[in-house]
Structure 1
Amino acid sequence: MVVLPSSRAPIVTQLVVYKVGSADEVPGKTGLAHFLEHMMFKGTDTVAPSEFSRVVSKNGGRDNAYTTYDSTGYYQTVSPERLELVMRMEADRMANLRTTEKELVPERQVVLEERRMRIDNSPSALLDEVVNERLYGRGQPYGMPISGTVADVEALTLADLRDFYRQHYMPNNAILIVGGDTTAEQVRALAEKYYGAIPARPVAPRRRPDHGAADLPQTVSRADPRVIEPRWSRHYLAPSFSKGESQYAYALQVLAQLLGGTETSRLWRALVVDSKRALSAWAGYRPNSLGLASFEVGVHPASSVTMADVESAVAAELSRLIDGGVSTDELERAQNQLLAAAIYSQDSLQSGPRIFGGALSTGSTVADVAAWPERISAVRPDEVVAAARHVCQPQRLVTSLLTPPPGSR
């Protein structure tokens, strides 16, 4: 249990994060975690189908849920006096979910429509699914789509959903995070009353390989008439806080920021401002992963620039950083930007709980979250260079090209 007291506004957010996500599925059963997320709103013996959200809304609150590779979260934002209400209802569906064929059939179409809207209608999202499959390996935990394949979702049964629910939905496989106008004592009393009454059950070990696909490097491409802005990007297998050479994780966060985190970053200045080769450029890295993570660099090329030119320009910037090092000034600027963003995120009653939920569901601790600013501030220039040298290697990358069809530009 984590409590994040804040008296800035008379509201509270409850977030329950289960330590299970799409990466805990098996080939042929993809989409289970996300489908079950939808079915969790379909009622219990005491709450009618779809009544959960209606009750929250009638009491002036908002609620929603999400599924990631490593976790599934359910949250409600309400006034403090309604915290007991939403905790009682959340505990009820943790233990007493009622799944029926009557509810499953129409919800399957909702899940498939959501996939069509978010993935099938987005050329970049479709390409990203292929990138993950090539980077981590076909049928591997992070190589399978979070929303599942259409064929798998169409074939999932009531028994599949019930089994997945029984295997993973229990208090000893969940994290309770409450932020807002309350106290640890008040939350603990409610948690013991509602979640404490639910029996614990054995939890199976979670599997995550310590390697990516065996046939790297690879290049994947998608030519799609819906593409307006072409995109060149490269994903490198990278350590996370939990897997691989995790000593590089903090330096990789700083590297992503100074390389492509803002419009003052190296890639932006070199490709957008100085050479006019790109419309935008970025880098990204998220170390909260139970398995290996990925480090991404990407560019939207200018209209007259080829993908080969972009690739050469990015490679030149990476070589310049690895061979020439990082200055103290740009290191401190990147660190300050990261620290400022973390401070701003505390203003949101959703961001704070989500940060803790993502960390605690992937092996980090409350102490790790608290120590993050100090560890980011302690990163040295030579550590950033060492992290870049470790990750930016050809045997650990997938390059992706997103373009309009030939002749359409």
Structure 2
Amino acid sequence: MPNGLQAIVLPSRRAPIVTQVVVYKVGSADETFGKTGAAHFLEHMMFKGTDKVPGGEFSRIVSRNGGRDNAYTSFDSTGYHQTIAAERLELIMRMEADRMTGIRISDREIVPERQVILEERRMRTDNVPSALLDEAVREQLYGRHKPYAMPIVGYPDDIKKLSVNDLSTFYRRHYAPNNAVLIVAGDTTTEAVRKLAERYYGPIASRKTEPRRRPSKGGPNLPQKVIRADARVVEPRWSRLWLAPSYRTGETKHAYALQVLARLFGGSETSRLWRALVVDGKVGLSAWAAYSPASLGLTSFDIGVHPAPTRSMADVEKAVTTEMKRLLDGGVKPEEVERAQNQLLAGAIYSQDSLASGPRIYGTMLSTGGTVADVDAWPQRISAVTPAEVQAAAEYVWRDDGAVTAMLTPAEGSR
């Protein structure tokens, strides 16, 4: 649109409903140390009202009209979404456009919401040993006080200090139509969305935004090992994370092959890792590999195992290392690459068929420097990955100088 807002329409006639998603190209990785948690705190404040919609009424209006709404904050983006009957699209678009520039931030609202957020952190992080371990691992992998190392919810001391001015400044700096993506999916047409978007989002003026920066390298002194022994741990976990390129940063040529590698190595119960460690070796209760390239900066390639009750962390590490070496030395077979590709493609088809995950795919891609064309071309690019490219990607990422090994154990420590 003339003011810079990107708008995407994903028509679907399967049900008389629509989902509207507005994704801002800002997340917790755009914060600075000392003011962590600002993006997530502001997400909460977006529900506190404008001159046109009183505090708390946004969600109540959506609910009274038979819809539901929510929001999320990630490292690279912040999104707001509503699902409602198709004829109520104008209602939710009017309200969402209103809070793009009109929210009121005051001490009266911040003080009680700060306690809500601190409690959220206590519940989801401080009371969850695995979350505390993950926070410590990210600090080692990406470097303390660096983007992606600082928690999305923020550090407690920072949450307690964030002020009206901090949040208002963050809001004015990042919440603008030229820094946002509008996605409407469901029972509507491009022309209908265009008319409504021009009426409600069109009058909002664009603002100058600052370039987004991400480090091109990880934390110092890798490899590292992080161990958390906690009395609350019932199920131990061994994992290893490697710095990995994303679609935008690093050796981006490996991004598609790494997705295939993660799938065939540990992405399902038919994967190499699961068969070797869970089915055959009885070393683990479960095993997995994960990789997501949708990041503005570097990302990670993760392998994890929940050890079997009678097996030690050393047993697990030895078994994982053996399977990695088997792949690096022997390569991968064309048929297992094809199977992984088919699984990835099937998952993407199901995701895009959903009014929830479909828009999220586009929002994530466009908020991290990608395009609609990148989303559309993804199946072809995944299908074009060769066994040699999968092995080359593994050789590039599975290096000791880019890894953090993490162990979650009961209070008595590693067995």
- TM-score class normalised by the smaller sequence: over 0.9
Instruction: Give distance in 2, aligned partners of 1:143 and 1:334.
Output: 30
Aligned equivalent of 1:394, options 366, 382, 400: 400
Give the match for residue 4 of structure 2: none
Could you tell me how far 1:47 is from its partner in structure 2? 0.7
Give the match for residue 64 of structure 1: 70
Aligned equivalent of 2:169, options 160, 163, 166: 163
Aligned equivalent of 1:382, options 388, 409, 415: 388
Give the match for residue 104 of structure 1: 110
Aligned equivalent of 2:333, options 327, 341, 344: 327
1:306 aligns with 2:320: no
Could you tell me how far 1:254 is from its partner in structure 2? 0.3
CA change 1:408–1:264 in 2 (3 A) is closer
Could you tell me how far 1:211 is from its partner in structure 2? 0.4
Secondary structure in structure 1 of the residue aligned to 2:16? coil
Instruction: Give distance in 2, aligned partners of 1:236 and 1:312.
Output: 17
1:132 aligns with 2:145: no
Q: TM-score, normalised by structure 1?
A: 0.99
Q: TM-score, normalised by structure 2?
A: 0.98
Give the match for residue 375 of structure 2: 369
Secondary structure in structure 2 of the residue aligned to 1:143? coil
Give the match for residue 405 of structure 1: 411
Give the match for residue 86 of structure 2: 80
Aligned equivalent of 1:32, options 20, 32, 38: 38
Instruction: Give distance in 2, aligned partners of 1:219 and 1:370.
Output: 39
CA change 1:13–1:407 in 2 (3 A) is closer
Matches within 5 A, 1:218-229: 218-229=224-235
Q: Percent identity?
A: 68
Give 4+ residue runs of structure 1 displaced > 6 Å after superposition. none
Instruction: Give distance in 2, aligned partners of 1:133 and 1:408.
Output: 22
Instruction: Give distance in 2, aligned partners of 1:3 and 1:322.
Output: 43
1:280 aligns with 2:286: yes
Give the match for residue 215 of structure 1: 221
Give the match for residue 347 of structure 1: 353
Secondary structure in structure 2 of the residue aligned to 1:142? coil
Could you tell me how far 1:226 is from its partner in structure 2? 1.1
Give the match for residue 209 of structure 2: 203
Could you tell me how far 1:23 is from its partner in structure 2? 0.1
Matches within 5 A, 1:282-297: 282-297=288-303
Give the match for residue 54 of structure 1: 60
Instruction: Give distance in 2, aligned partners of 1:173 and 1:221.
Output: 40
CA change 1:103–1:386 in 2 (3 A) is same
Secondary structure in structure 2 of the residue aligned to 1:303? coil
CA contact (8 A) 2:352 2:361 kept: no
> Structure 1: where are the runs of 5+ without partners?
none
CA change 1:81–1:270 in 2 (3 A) is same
Give the match for residue 239 of structure 1: 245
> Structure 2: where are the runs of 5+ without partners?
1-6
Give the match for residue 97 of structure 2: 91
Could you tell me how far 1:347 is from its partner in structure 2? 2.8
Instruction: Give distance in 2, aligned partners of 1:304 and 1:260.
Output: 22
Could you tell me how far 1:408 is from its partner in structure 2? 10
Could you tell me how far 1:346 is from its partner in structure 2? 2.3
Q: Which moved more, 1:7-16 or 1:342-351?
A: 342-351
Secondary structure in structure 2 of the residue aligned to 1:226? coil
